[in-house]
Amino acid sequence: MKIRISALAVALLLLFCLPALAQRPAQEARLDGDMFRPELIKRFQDQIGLTKEQSLEMLRIVQESQAKMLEVQWAMEPEMDAMRKLLAETRVDEDKVKKQLRSITANEATAKELQLMLMVRIKNLLTADQQSQLRRLREQRMGRRRR
């Protein structure tokens, strides 16, 4: 009985804490420290001299990524509902929970991959000078927030 309760506790911990840990803002845990979010580029597009062609291509890439992300989110909701039902049972089937957790984490991994690949594609659109300017502008902006 203790083992089943412990397994359930671990499953719940993973289910609810892993997404939060995956989104930790600590710089050392982030892979995107040298990447640029679309919002940042849009905000400073004039300062970095973003061309119309770059802007249109960035828009295309973002729209494509958003469509794929919507598919992942759409698939994720029934997976989470299924997990909730499994965990609501009086006797929780560990094997079913484990299988469901794997399905959920696979979707989360796909979402993370889409996010990172979006930023890679956007970074590859920018010149070295534009990237350097964005780093400087981002650091200035972050410095103001800390004050």
Tokens of 131: 């990237």
Q: What is the reported pLDDT for 71?
A: 96
Q: What is the reported pLDDT for 34?
A: 87
Decide: 35 and 45 in contact? Cβ < 8 Å: no
pLDDT tens-digit profile, the chain (147 residues): 555 544 444 444 445 545 554 554 454 456 667 899 999 999 999 999 999 999 999 999 999 999 999 999 999 999 999 999 999 999 999 999 999 999 999 999 999 999 999 999 999 999 999 999 999 999 888 776 665
Q: What is the distance between the alpha carbons of residues 141 and 147, in angstroms, rounded to a whole number?
A: 11
Whole-structure pTM value:
0.70
Q: What is the reported pLDDT for 142?
A: 78
Q: What is the DSSP letter of 89?
A: S
Q: What is the reported pLDDT for 141?
A: 82
Q: At what angle do helices 52-88 and 94-125 cross, to 10 degrees?
A: 170
Using only the alpha carbons of the chain, give its radius of gyration.
20
